[in-house]
Amino acid sequence: MMQPSANKAYVFNEHVNVQYLNNLYSGDYEMIEETFSDVLAEFPSLLENIDAAALTRDLPGLKQAIHKIKPLFGFTGLTAIQTECQDFENACVSHPSFDSILPIFSILNKSIVRAQAIIAEEKARLAIFNSR
């Protein structure tokens, strides 16, 4: 795995919490790229679980699906979305009906879809960066 290099400087997307990522990976860009790749590979199945739970209006299932996808945003430094997921999990406790949680879920769902695009874009840029 690559160690931090003083000669290399990678500029992350503005939504990525760089300080958090540096703390997590100690500037090991190859490890970051590998993890982003792992995240992208796992993302679709976790997204499917969310869609399935939403479609069947299964609130406990939806809470569980959001809980499961949440760490992916931590691993990719998207800490704001990670917090949104946690807030949603907390809201599920105080909003026991699916209808009452729907507006919060709609916002979160958009964030999740946007996050997937950001991670894919970062993964592609990191691959170029690491190959230099």
Partner 1 sequence: MSLCCIIVEDLQVAANYLIKCCEKSNLVEVKGHFTNVPDALSFVNENTVDLIFLDVEMPGPSGFELLDQMAFLPKIILTTSKKEYAYDAFEYKVTDFLKKPFSYERFLESLQKVQASPDIPATGAIASDHIYIKSEGKLIRLANESILYIESMGDYVKFVTADKKYITHNTIKNLEDKVDKASFLKVHRSYIINLHKIDDMRENHLFIQGVEIPVSKAFKSLVISRLNIL
Please report how close the Cβ of residue 86 comes to partner 1 at its closest, in angstroms.
Answer: 9
Q: Which is nearer to partner 1, 94 or 99 (CB)?
A: 94
Structure tokens given for 81? 């979305």
For partner 1, the binding residues (CB under 8 A) are 1, 23-26, 28, 31, 34-35, 38-39, 41-42, 64, 67-68, 70-72, 74-75
Long-range contacts of 106-112 (CB under 8 A, 24+ apart): 108/66, 108/84, 109/50, 109/54, 111/81, 111/84, 112/47, 112/50, 112/69, 112/81
Please report how close the Cβ of residue 99 comes to partner 1 at its closest, in angstroms.
Answer: 26
Please report how close the Cβ of residue 12 comes to partner 1 at its closest, in angstroms.
Answer: 16
